[in-house]
Structure 1
Amino acid sequence: MNPGGGMDMQALLQQAQQMQQQLMAAQQELEESKVEGTSGGGLVTVTVSGRGQVEDIRIDPKAIDADDPAETAQTVADLVLAAIRDAERAVDELQQQKMGPLAQGLGGGGMPGLPGF
């Protein structure tokens, strides 16, 4: 506030610019981050970017039963889906960790249009 009782626009602009820089830095950190989700006791591992993009899926050969290919295919599909969901949960936690404080700085109302907020 300035002495005249009005808002100090310069201070508001500086604060907005600082928040924008913090937001950009947090978004960059998310881009560079990787999280993993697993299922089946580690039989399937999914690597996901901090923005939620699946980047790698690894399936342990022990997940394959050569004697029952149809059942194995369904089991592997279920394990992959479970690992992706586990990774998505980890991405949500990472996004809250990186972006949550910025949302609170904006009044705690969340950040419409950003995944996970």
Structure 2
Amino acid sequence: MFPGGQPDMAELLRQAQQMQQQLADAQTELAEAEVTGSAGGGLVTATMTGSGELTALTIAPSAVDPDDVETLQDLVVAAVRDASRAASELTAEKMGPLAGGLGGGFGLPGA
């Protein structure tokens, strides 16, 4: 598995520190990134950070009908879900390569 049968502990530590820094960088990027979801053809938009924090919700005046609050509620939920999906995709894009490397360089079982 390892040349000479023993892992180079200094190299393993270096790789772990490098991955830890890459993970921290990716988390910072996600916290600063913004994604937007929408519903009703743009009548309602939701903005989230890449880490999933809802930062803004915009509702077009034409979407507000006092006699049909349920439709507006559904549009808000749909816009937030759309933004959440976009945040999840961004997270997978940023974190996926890091997760794939968790076992590769360390020779861990199942990796």
Q: Which TM-score applies when normalising by structure 2?
A: 0.87
Separation in 2 of the partners of 1:54 and 1:6? 48
CA distance in 1, matches of 2:103, 2:63: 48
- What fraction of aligned residue pairs are identical, expressed as a percent? 57
Q: Is 1:98 equivalent to 2:61 in the alignment?
A: no
Q: What residue in structure 2 maps to residue 35 of structure 1?
A: 35
- Say whether residues 1:59 and 2:59 are aligned partners: yes
Match runs of 1:8-87 below 5 Å:
8-65=8-65, 69-71=66-68, 73-87=69-83
Higher relative contact order (CA 8 A, sep 6+): 2
CA distance in 2, matches of 1:41, 1:99: 31
Structure 1 residue 64 displacement after superposition? 2.0
Kindly report structure 1 stretches of 4+ aligned residues shifted beyond 2 Å.
none
Q: By how many angstroms is 1:62 displaced?
A: 1.3
Matched residue pairs, number?
103
- Please report the TM-score for the alignment, with normalisation by the length of structure 1: 0.83
- Which consecutive residues of structure 1, in runs of 5 or more, have no partner in the other structure? 109-117
- Tell me the C-alpha RMSD between the 2 structures: 1.4
Q: Which runs of 5+ in 2 are unaligned?
A: 105-111
